[in-house]
């Protein structure tokens, strides 16, 4: 079977594993207080041009989202997101378990728009109705759950609407590297630091064993953050494993070359889908492709390839998902392209 299930099926990029091996017997402080974590944080601040940001290296995406949103909001405040958002659908209610409602808007392409934010704000009387939650944080992801990406104009417009209503803008970058290397992308690393109050740079889905780098730009959101990391269970005892991995990740722009490999493979699949006449659920320039195929074709493909079903489209057709990664082999892409 040939695997296009997801981008976290394998272990780590060889350079990352090597760095862990090289440093294995060093003794360092625990809990991320070591020099590797400090260096990784410096690299992030430099690479994203946010010299005063706080950088916290976290183990995974769900705990990063839960910790950040719990820290940023007061009990009566809510997050705004698209209905297909990871926090809305696939975190088993982690945000609500932390006490916060998510107000959501349906977005066919997975992207939140200022109009959606405005409508939600209006429905909640701009946060001034004490019988309703007070929207306070906008959650977006780039790339989105459907592989689509924001343009600089779109992200700037979201920033503006956030400023208009006094909302925080938080960006889930589990797949930020694939977004950055997408052909149509016009956002640079420093734009995220400039436009968001906080965001995280994904590692798990792009070649780290595990790890996401949370960047807090807004000074208001910084105090005592390590307390809540610990409370939420996200403080990693051997924290330097995160530092070591992220140092290797940014060395020679490994994070971008790894993502580029994944995106190129995915775009070959996308072109093959289009040529074969399969419509795509969303116009994804990143490493997830969602062709709509007949249920017969789906069954046929499933004999050779591992992939996920996204959702039934009608009685006889289904949107399926192919995901590529740093570890995807060209020959496997060839096989899929031929089979389509």
142 part of the interface to a second copy, by CB under 8 A: no
The reply to whether 324 sits near a second copy by the rule CB under 8 A is no
Question: What is the C-alpha separation between 258 and 184, in angstroms, rounded?
Answer: 18
What the block records as the tokens of 238 is 């051997």
Helix residue spans in 100-200 (DSSP H): 114-123, 152-165, 176-181, 189-195
CA distance 58 to 243: 10
Can you tell me the distance from the alpha carbon of 125 to that of 308, in angstroms, rounded to the nearest whole number?
40
Is 191 or 212 the residue whose CB approaches a second copy more closely?
A: 212
Is 236 an interacting residue with respect to a second copy (CB under 8 A)? yes
For position 94 contacting a second copy by CB under 8 A, the verdict is yes
Closest CB 96 distance from a second copy, rounded Å:
4
Residue 99 C-beta: closest distance to a second copy, Å: 5
Whole-number Å distance between alpha carbons of 263 and 181: 8
Using rule CB under 8 A, residue 297 touches a second copy: no
Which of these, 135, 187, 189, lies nearest to 156 by C-alpha position?
Answer: 187
For a second copy, the binding residues in 95-134 under the rule CB under 8 A are 96-102, 130-134
**Phi, psi at residue 171, to the nearest 5°?**
-120, 125
Q: Is 259 in the site for a second copy (CB under 8 A)?
A: no
Number of residues engaging a second copy in binding (CB under 8 A): 73
Max Cα-Cα span within the chain: 59
Quick check: 76 binds a second copy (CB under 8 A)? yes
Stretch that binds a second copy, among 154-162, 224-232, 256-264, 272-280 (CB under 8 A): 224-232
| Closest approach of a second copy to the CB of residue 52, in Å | 20
27 counts as binding a second copy under rule CB under 8 A: yes
Does the CA dihedral 99-192-229-62 come out positive or negative? positive
Q: Is 3 in the site for a second copy (CB under 8 A)?
A: yes
């Amino acid at each position: 079977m040939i695997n296009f299930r997801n981008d976290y099926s394998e272990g780590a990029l060889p350079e990352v594993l090597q760095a862990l091996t090289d440093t294995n017997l060093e003794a360092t402080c625990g809990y991320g207080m070591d020099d590797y974590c400090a260096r990784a944080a410096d690299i992030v601040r430099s690479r994203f041009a946010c010299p005063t940001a706080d950088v916290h290296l976290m183990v995974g995406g769900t705990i990063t989202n839960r910790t950040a949103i719990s820290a940023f909001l007061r009990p009566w405040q809510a997050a705004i997101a698209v209905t297909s958002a990871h926090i809305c659908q696939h975190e088993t209610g982690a945000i609500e378990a932390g006490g916060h409602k998510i107000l959501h808007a349906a977005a066919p392409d997975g992207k939140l728009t200022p109009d959606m934010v405005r409508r939600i704000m209006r429905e909640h009387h701009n946060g001034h109705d004490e019988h309703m939650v007070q929207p306070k944080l906008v959650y977006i992801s780039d790339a989105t759950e459907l592989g689509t990406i924001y343009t600089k104009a779109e992200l700037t417009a979201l920033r503006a609407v956030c400023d208009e209503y006094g909302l925080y803008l938080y960006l889930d970058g589990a797949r930020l590297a694939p977004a950055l290397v997408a052909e149509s992308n016009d956002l640079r690393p420093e734009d995220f630091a400039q436009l968001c109050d906080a965001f995280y740079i994904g590692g798990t889905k792009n070649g780290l064993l595990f790890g996401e780098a949370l960047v807090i730009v807004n000074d208001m959101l910084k105090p005592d953050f390590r307390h809540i990391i610990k409370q939420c269970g996200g403080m990693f005892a051997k924290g330097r494993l995160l530092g070591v991995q992220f140092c290797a990740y940014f060395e020679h722009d490994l994070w971008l070359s790894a993502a580029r490999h994944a995106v190129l493979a995915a775009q070959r699949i996308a072109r093959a889908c289009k040529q074969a006449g399969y419509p795509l659920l969303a116009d994804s320039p990143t490493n997830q492709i969602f062709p709509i195929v007949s249920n017969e074709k789906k069954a046929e493909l499933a004999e050779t390839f591992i992939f996920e079903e996204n959702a039934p489209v009608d009685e006889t057709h289904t949107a399926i998902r192919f995901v590529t990664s740093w570890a995807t082999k060209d020959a496997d892409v060839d096989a899929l392209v031929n089979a389509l």
